[in-house]
Amino acid sequence: MKYLLTSLLILLTLTFAQQEKRPELAHTETVQIGPYSMKVGFSRWPVLAQQSLDVLFMPEGGIKGKTATLTVIDPAGDFWAEGYIIPRFPRDRSIWGFDITAFDIEGQHKFKLELDGPEGKATGEIDVVMLPPPPFLPTLVSWVIGLSPLIIILVTVLTAWFRVRPGKRENTWVWQV
C-alpha cells in the first residue's frame, strides 16, 4: 500500500514538479554588523504593507558557522519579530531568509540584527519604510464575498427549518433513540 501510494505521489509529482530558485531581488541594502557586512534583499521594492514578499539575509562570506537573530519593531512599537533565529531560506540553503512574509502596518520598521560568528557577537540595524497597502475591495465587501457560501447555507437550512418546524413536531420530543 505504501509503495502504491508512493508511486502514485511520484507520478503526480512529475506533473507538478516545479523547482523554484532564489527569487530575483528588487532591492538590497547593506548592513554593517560589527565586523560583518550583510546584504538584506527584498523581492519587492518598495515594500507595501500587507503585501507579501521574500526577505533574504546574505552575510559576506556565507552563513556557515554563523547564526543571526532578527527583531523587527513596527511603527506602533510592537514586535513583528523578537529575537527570531533567521532560518535558512527554503529555496536556497546557502543563505538565510523568510519567504512569503508580510508586514501588517505601514510606516517605518526597525530591523535589529544580531549576528554571532567566528569574529564574535555584534549587532546592527536598518530602517525600512513600508508604504500603504495596495488598493483592493473594501474590507466589508471582500468578507461578504468570502462568506457568501455561508449565506447560502443559512438560507437553505432556515428554509428547511421553517418548512419542518421541528419544535412543533411531536416526534421530535419523544425518545426514538
Q: How far is 26 from 28, CA to CA, in rounded Å?
A: 7
Q: How far is 58 from 46, CA to CA, in rounded Å?
A: 19
CA-to-CA dists, residue 32 to 21, 37, 41, angstroms: 27, 5, 14
For other proteins, the closer CB: 77 or 138: 138
Three-state SS at 80: strand
Where along the sequence are the contacts to other proteins (CB under 8 A)? 6, 9-10, 12-13, 15-20, 44, 50-53, 85, 87-88, 90-91, 93, 99-100, 102, 133-136, 142-143, 145-150, 152-153, 156-157, 160-161, 163-164, 166-167, 169, 171-177
Q: How far is 81 from 139, CA to CA, in rounded Å?
A: 26
For other proteins, the closer CB: 123 or 156: 156
For other proteins, the closer CB: 34 or 106: 106
Least CB distance from residue 32 to other proteins, whole Å?
Answer: 25
For other proteins, the closer CB: 30 or 148: 148
